Amino acid sequence: MASTSDIETTNPGSMWELDQDLDVPMDEEASRLKNMYIEKKFSSVLLLRLAFQSLGVVFGDLGTSPLYVFYNIFPHGVDNDEDVIGALSLIIYTLTLIPLMKYVFVVLRANDNGQGGTFALYSLLCRHAKVSTIPNQHKTDEELTTYSRQTYEENSLAAKVKRWLEGHAYKKNCLLILVLIGTCTAIGDGILTPAISVLSATGGIRVQNPKMSTDVVVIVAVTILIGLFSMQHYGTDKVGWLFAPLVFLWFILIGSVGAFNIHKYNSSVLKAYNPVYIYRFLRRAKSEIWTSLGGVMLSITGTEALFADLCHFPVLAIQIAFTLVVFPCLLLAYTGQAAYIIVHKDHVVDAFYRSIPDTIYWPAFVIATLAAIVASQATISATYSIIKQALALGCFPRVSVVHTSKKFLGQIYIPDINWVLMILCIAVTAGFKNQIQIGNAYGTAVVIVMLVTTFLMVPIMLLVWKSHWILVVTFLVLSLMVEFPYFIACINKVDEGGWVPLAVAITFFIIMYVWHFCTVKRYEFEMHSKVSMAWILGLGPSLGLVRVPGIGFVYTELASGVPHIFSHFITNLPAIHSVVVFVCVKYLPVYTVPVEERFVMKRIGPKNFHMFRCVTRLESMMDGYSDSEDFTMTEHKVERPANALLMSEKAGSDLSYSSHDSSIVLAKSPLTGNNSVTRYSSQTYGDELEFLNSCKDAGVVHILGNTIVRARRDSGIIKRIVVDHLYAFLRKVCREHSVIFNVPHESLLNVGQIYYI
């Protein structure tokens, strides 16, 4: 009686019938329950340690706001004590409602497996509703152990919202536009935060030297900024351990000075904790109300960093740090400054530095300058993360991403973006020269990002949290009641510097949307032009060509089907390699893809066709690894899953493979996939594996499409400008796929095509 390993399928020819789904993978590593994502649990001691470390990464921007807030509230001076108390009351309750209540206790919960920011919210929505504009997702993606999503009852409010979002393409585009507005404005923060923080900190030089020219302060600030951006390629790994103690010392300093000033100058400012003074202040302000609100808005700059930098720390650690250290110290700092200003109304311009006792002035100046640098670094790093997320979603041209640390994957450096930020930051600093106009610009950027977060939280609360509609409406109304007046105040300052973040956001928005639009159109063209499986099978095992020894990797953006580039290639060349592997690198809306689940390998056609598909699934753009030994899209990375497919076909066993060598190791656990597995003799398996190895020794060629995208002749003038000029320019300046995948130049073959969209 034949052994089990020698038994073949009853009707081996039936699996190649044309009416069968040939894209169903024969082995899906994503079905392994042992790789389920488990949220980490932290001990109390570790949580306190992480809370302390979060001070240096998350709260630097928010902590340096006392340097310039009161000056921006009263740019024309202070008239009476009640105005100062009213402004302080506004600051107190703005800090309470926005950073504390909204972000720390609500928005932080809307994280994507520990990831925060606008794109994290979008990724959550893309998983719970089909709102992604790039339709390259496959049903196997949903079987990832980290691909968690909710299920809904058909008549529930969440199900209705889901169907409404998925109903029309324009709704998906509107959602994408909203996300891009938030991210592009956040990039503006990366320009304005270093400018206003460093300029405000270095402004302390003039307090002790009143005769010093403003140009000297600007030169010092620009010098610091140049040094800051020039050092970015080294990363923060080596000096990052200094950030937390430094920012902690800064918070202790401003809190202590604030308490000292309350005791020394005027303890009656404590009545500002009565919100009735807000009403009195706004009633008296009249025409100056929008100027004052724009200044108060600066007290919560950096709040979005609570969410954007969430990837570095657990939610509870950030909540502990804010409630125990940041929030009390900020309240003391602002209250102490208000007490000082009531006594010295003519010192409102430099209220922070003038309120510092002379004995600790210069140490405080040094700490303030260093804290401003740390705040700037956090914002710059957040900008890099935004660009990296945009790359993964096909919303930004391909640029070089360099990982500066082997310990922390979140620490990256993008050279092209770094120099653009530096030039714009220096231009803003040298152009405005003062805190007022930069503050006007800064407030506009911050409030727009907050509004975008508010609007995105509505579908998150409905689809992800399944919250009752009353809670959703309450959150939306309360948030807009606070944020919308600040938005109006900042818009009124557009002509006084507020145009800067709008100009930056519009520029980046055009780049992102044009790139995304053309990427989607190009993908749709490839989908409509892909080759039918019937045509491939009709060619026979030789594909109607001479099969030369070797392995050919054909790179495509299609996760299923045979790309048009392949038919174009075999139509113009009389030969093809003995083994053909279609490689698709795709990015999924998840925080992480376990290493064991990155590759989905399947066979195309019968075994004697020797054609495979390898879908490499990543959670974000891993371009930075192309400059190191940790990541390379070369042949040994793709051959491993090809060999793994043969192993699963041979024995029906689960399989694993090392990331450091090409050896195959059979795991002891049984295969948990639901798909049937074809069994065949050990000799057949050995022959095919030997055939693959001989093809590898014969040589490997990487075939990439060098496509040129053009607008159709009947297109409008705007579309022709966008596609033929702007997109073409972006394609020229961005990185080639061969560089991203680290393809050896001597093994590269580009196939040229023109796509008309």
- CATH number of the domain bearing residue 208: 1.20.1740.10
Do 249 and 100 share a structural domain?
A: yes
Residue 691 has pLDDT above 70, yes or no: yes
Do 689 and 555 share a structural domain?
A: yes
Do 558 and 464 share a structural domain?
A: no
Do 593 and 471 share a structural domain?
A: no
Rounded Cα gap, residues 341 and 84, in angstroms = 8
Residue 332, domain member (yes or no): yes
For the ranges 264-268, 490-494, 715-719, which has the lowest average pLDDT? 490-494
Confidence of residue 664 (pLDDT cuts 50, 70, 90): very low
The per-residue pLDDT for 117 is 84
Do 250 and 165 share a structural domain?
A: yes
The larger pLDDT score, comparing residue 10 to residue 212, is at 212
Mean pLDDT, range 72-78, rounded to an integer: 86
Name the pairing type of β-strands 700-710 and 748-756: parallel
The per-residue pLDDT for 324 is 95
Mean pLDDT, range 100-107, rounded to an integer: 93
Residue 11 has pLDDT above 70, yes or no: no
**Vertex 38 angle, CA 37 and 39, to 5°:** 120
Residue 684 has pLDDT above 80, yes or no: no
pLDDT digits (tens, 9 = 90+) for 490-542: 888 887 777 888 888 899 999 999 999 888 888 888 888 887 777 777 766 66
Q: What is the CA radius of gyration of the chain?
A: 29
Name the pairing type of β-strands 412-413 and 402-403: antiparallel
pLDDT digits (tens, 9 = 90+) for 581-590: 888 888 776 7
Residue 25 has pLDDT above 70, yes or no: no
Provide the H-helix boundaries in 265-399. 276-285, 289-297, 303-308, 315-321, 327-343, 351-354, 361-392
Residue 138, domain member (yes or no): yes
For the ranges 94-103, 182-191, 349-358, 570-579, which has the lowest average pLDDT? 570-579
Give the three-state DSSP class for 276. Answer: helix
Do 478 and 336 share a structural domain?
A: yes
The per-residue pLDDT for 692 is 80
pLDDT digits (tens, 9 = 90+) for 232-262: 888 766 666 788 899 999 999 999 999 999 9
Residue 651 has pLDDT above 60, yes or no: no
Residue 400 has pLDDT above 70, yes or no: yes
Residue 393, domain member (yes or no): no
The per-residue pLDDT for 177 is 92
| Among 509, 538, 559, residue at a domain's last position | 509
Residue 428 and residue 441 in contact, taking contact as beta carbons nearer than 8 Å: yes
pTM for this model (two decimals): 0.80
Mean pLDDT, range 338-349, rounded to an integer: 91
Residue 489, domain member (yes or no): yes
The larger pLDDT score, comparing residue 668 to residue 506, is at 506
Rounded Cα gap, residues 295 and 14, in angstroms = 73
Confidence of residue 139 (pLDDT cuts 50, 70, 90): low
Residue 704 has pLDDT above 50, yes or no: yes
| Among 509, 541, 569, residue at a domain's last position | 509
User: How many domains does the chain fold into?
Assistant: 2
The larger pLDDT score, comparing residue 633 to residue 451, is at 451
Confidence of residue 291 (pLDDT cuts 50, 70, 90): confident
pLDDT digits (tens, 9 = 90+) for 604-627: 878 788 888 888 887 753 433 444
Do 592 and 460 share a structural domain?
A: no
Do 638 and 669 share a structural domain?
A: yes
Do 538 and 501 share a structural domain?
A: no
Do 570 and 480 share a structural domain?
A: no
Q: Which of 112, 136, 135 is nearest to 123 (CA)?
A: 112
Mean pLDDT, range 191-198, rounded to an integer: 88
Name the pairing type of β-strands 611-618 and 599-604: antiparallel
Report for 130-144, 264-278, 399-413, 672-686: range of highest mean pLDDT: 264-278
- Work out the mean pLDDT of the chain and round it to a whole number: 79
Q: In which domain, by residue range, is 123 found?
A: 53-146+158-386+402-509
pLDDT digits (tens, 9 = 90+) for 621-649: 343 344 444 444 444 444 455 555 555 45
Contacts of residues 624-628 at CB distance under 8 Å and 24 or more positions apart, as own/partner, are 624/400, 624/401, 624/402, 624/403, 624/412, 625/403, 626/739, 626/740, 626/741, 626/742, 627/400, 627/402, 628/403
Confidence of residue 21 (pLDDT cuts 50, 70, 90): very low
Do 536 and 485 share a structural domain?
A: no
pLDDT digits (tens, 9 = 90+) for 541-564: 666 677 888 888 888 888 777 888
Helices (H) and strands (E) in the chain, counts: 28, 10
| Among 449, 476, 509, residue at a domain's last position | 509
The per-residue pLDDT for 594 is 78
